Amino acid sequence: MQAGWFTDALVARVNNDTNLQVVGQAYRDRMQPVDPAAVRDDLRRRGISDARVKVFYGVYYKVNVGQTIETNMPIPPLEGWDGILFDLDHAN
């Protein structure tokens, strides 16, 4: 996932700076949702402190219908989430 490129020095820097947080993406390239727990677990396993882990949630993701049509599908509301909503397609 995303924690694979974190060096030991970067992990230490994040964990020791109260102003730094890591925000992993809970979506793939076409905004297909990824389980936020898997994103958090990946960062925690690398050594990032739980208090520093947040998640980018995609507001919409694209689904290919057949070979040519793409539709925006809303992601269901999440209970108790802690992170940032991201929606590149609808940003102004």
- Residues 54-75: tens digit of each pLDDT: 888 776 545 444 444 444 544 5
Query: Model pTM greater than 0.75?
Result: no
Can you give the residue ranges of every domain in the chain?
A: 3-90
The residues, any chain, with a CB within 8 Å of residue 59's CB and separated by 6 or more, are: 74, 75, 85, 86, 87, 90
Which pLDDT does position 33 carry in this prediction?
Answer: 77
What is the number of H-type helices and E-type strands within the chain? 2, 5
| Percent of the chain clearing pLDDT 70 (strictly above) | 61
